[in-house]
Amino acid sequence: MPRFLLAFLAGGLFGTGLFLSGMTDAAKVQGWLDVFGAWDPTLAFVMGGAIIPMAIAWRIAEGRKPLVGGTFPKPPEPKLGRNLVVGSVLFGVGWGLAGLCPGPAVASLSYGGWPHWVFFAAMLAGMILTPFARAQLDRAVPAE
Amino acid sequence: MLNAIPADWLWGLAGGLLIGTGGAVFLLGNGRIMGASGILGGLVDGSGRSNWAERAIFLLGVFALPLLLLPVAGPVDTHVTQNLLVLVAAGLCVGIGTRMANGCTSGHGVCGISRLSLRGIVATVFYILAGGLTVALFRHLLGVI
């Protein structure tokens, strides 16, 4: 039960932060990416603000265990593969096109109107299709 | 005081601190990384079946809190395009891209950079560059968005 309460608390803080920071407003996100237009620095403050408590949390986690038990996730192998680069570029293209990424896409579903549901449905379809997309990529560019 | 409307960057910073606090709660409490694409993706592709309830409850929190805040905040214009083709293409790119890269703005960006993960930093550089080029191309050259 504490696991579920903490999950709701974490999600609630995440959603509240996304809402208040303006990160569900595509104009702000695209404005930050728009270095050739009316550049909007808000996103940098959001990122910076979010990294501070998170960096402290990683410090606290050292040598401890999570409250509800288990272990902390190990750092990933510092391997920079094809999937990381191709995936991130693809993500960036979609992010620029719509001004939404997965967190804000969920946070804005209740008030964004039908375009948000279309984006959300397409995003879920993309997530389901990823193994097939990866297989296509494997055929074109063999993984290292 | 009443007419002192705080600047956007102040809301950004305050919201950012809340986002990071959410990530800290999920890490220190549950031992989980707060990555939206991983949490959501694991639910829809079946890879997160073993802890689906924790994922679903987290996402419920993300969805529900803005809904509860709406009556206080008033109507919000999200300025998202109504171009169906752009919406579908963008959603597919975000869905496939984040799952292929194993992370998005929250997982690679917030959680990765804060632990100085090389993968997180590299991913963030690439999605920001790609996003910037996309806006330059589709807004300023093609005029689509």
Residue-number span of the structural domain to which B75 is assigned: 8-141
pLDDT in tens, A77-99: 888 999 999 999 999 999 999 99
pLDDT of residue A144: 57
- Closest alpha carbon within chain A to B28: A66
* Low-confidence residues of chain A: pLDDT under 70: 143-144
Interface test with chain A among B5, B10, B30, by most A beta carbons within 10 Å: B30
The total number of structural domains in chain A stands at 1
Is A82 touching B (CB cutoff 8 A)? no
**Domain limits at A114?**
2-140
Chain pair A-B, CB pairs under 8 angstroms: 481
Q: Quick check: is B32 in a domain? A: yes
Residue B2 in domain? no
B121 Cβ under 8 Å from any chain A Cβ: no
pLDDT class of B83 with cuts at 50, 70, 90? very high
- Assess: ipTM above 0.85: yes
What pLDDT, in 10s, does the model give residues B92-140? Answer: 999 999 999 999 999 999 999 999 999 999 999 999 999 999 999 999 9
Spacing of C-alpha B143 from chain mean position: 25
List pLDDT tens digits, range B21-70: 999 999 999 999 999 999 999 999 999 999 999 999 999 999 999 999 99
pLDDT at position B5 is 54
